[in-house]
Structure 1
Amino acid sequence: MAHRIFTLWAGLVVAAAFHCSAFAGPVEDGLEAAKRSDYATALKLWTPAAEQGDATAQSYLGLLYLRGWGVRQDNAEAARWYRKAADQGNTAAQNNLATLYGNGTGVPQDYGQAFVLLRKAADAGAMEAYVNLARAYEAGHGVAKDCGAALVWYRKAVSGGYPGAREALADSACRS
């Protein structure tokens, strides 16, 4: 059930993590390299930026380690980079780290911590967190079970046009 609650949708996570910016630089150049599946170059460009505190680069590194793209796959290292970015308010990292906590991937399973992160991301308008937050409310993971709140978040995701949101709502045991 935990995997249904905190689903890591590869395409959605990639879309959420790889957003575009108007200014060229190492982070953006790394993004272009990653889009070409040149993860070694992306890693080379993102690592110094991440080490200097760039939250976007930290989130991107989390994804590389999570997927094993250009590096040895390492869930704990993914969680470490996501935590650094999440602590700076990076909503993609908050959502992705919440998924790791929800599944106990690279970190101890902790629904409470997952919920806190999802709520921060969703409250900041991160569409990628809406469905996961709805599922947490639906299952009572990290929060009291609340179908009304679950439906609110599912519907916000649907209204925002988030991919897969309609299906998630249709599959919900909370739908009325």
Structure 2
Amino acid sequence: MPQAALTSNFPPLRLVLSMPGEAGSHYELASMYARGEGVPQDAAEALVWYRKAADQDYALAQYALARMYSSGQGVPQDTAEALTWYRKAADQGYDRAQYALARMFSLGDGLPQDHAEAAKWYRKAAQQGYDHAQNDLGVMYQIGQGVLEDHCQAVAWYRKAADQGHARAQNNLGYMYESGRGVRQDHAQAVEWYRKAAEQGFFVAQHNRGVMY
């Protein structure tokens, strides 16, 4: 007698993923539709499953849903709706959502511009080690936007991001060494950080390094 397929005693994948309370599974299915992995790529279907997971307070799904509303992918672009979902994910401590929310406050995108509020959310993401937030918080300290100007703090945050390989932060740290802001002036260190950024193709650093020779 032919042997039954090994999966014959299990429900179909879609049925398993559709069970109530399976937020993580709903998120994974949404991601499959978003990327077209194992199923036809379908942004509208991805939106449906991201929302199912997001409604269960699944932060990654809330962030993904916000991005879809922000870009108008699979749904009409809606900045207010994007803001709502970014905030939900940010309030749960998701660093990328905190960074996205900070950017919206910084740019005045869909809400009144508020640099102090932007700095608050950059800090939350930066303290979790998110390099983009660390660099942008460094910029705010360097120019005194949303926080008191503090070049030592700027250097500290640039360094955290630069040590993770963030090219823009490496360039910014190089500039601080070149100009002696927040750190003892050191052209050798400036060249080294410009080099690191330049090797990643960051044009400004390539220019800055060239000027120093």
Question: TM-score normalized by structure 2?
Answer: 0.67
Could you tell me which amino acid in structure 2 is paired with residue 34 of structure 1? S
Query: Residue 152 in 1 paired to residue 188 in 2?
Result: no
Q: 1:40 Cα shift?
A: 1.6
Normalized against structure 1, the TM-score is what? Answer: 0.80
**Partners of 1:90 and 1:45 in 2: CA distance:** 19
> Aligned pair 1:165/2:201, yes or no?
no
Match of 1:95 in 2: 135
User: How far did residue 163 of structure 1 move?
Assistant: 4.2
Structure 1 residue aligned with 2:169: 129
Which residue pairs with 2:149 in the alignment?
A: 109
Bigger RCO of structures 1 and 2 (CA < 8 A, at least 6 apart): 1
Q: Cα RMSD (Å) of the superposition?
A: 1.8
Q: Deviations over 1:84-130 (max 9, x none)?
A: 11111111000000000000001000000010000011101122211
Render the CA deviation track for 1:24-66: whole Å, top value 9, x for unaligned. Answer: 6221222233334642222111101101111110011110000
Residues 60-87 of structure 1: CA distance to partner in whole angstroms, max 9, x if unpaired? 1110000000110000000000011111
Judged with a 3 Å threshold, the aligned counterparts in structure 2 of structure 1 residues 31 and 164 are, in CA distance, closer, same or farther, namely farther
Partner of 2:67: 31
| Separation of aligned partners in 2, 1:165 and 1:41 | 37
User: Could you tell me how far apart the structure 1 residues matched to 2:67 and 2:175 are?
Assistant: 30
Q: What stretches of structure 2 of length at least 5 have no aligned partner? A: 1-29, 32-49, 51-60
Residue in structure 1 matched with residue 81 of structure 2 by the alignment: 41
Change (3 A) 1:167 1:33: farther
Percent of aligned pairs with the same residue? 41
Counterpart of 1:30, as a letter, is A
Q: Is it true that 1:61 corresponds to 2:97 in the alignment?
A: no
Structure 1: runs of 5 or more not aligned: 1-21
**Structure 1's 161 and 67: CA in aligned 2 closer, same or farther, altered over 3 A?**
same
Match in the other structure for 1:76: 116
- More moved, 46-55 vs 34-43: 34-43
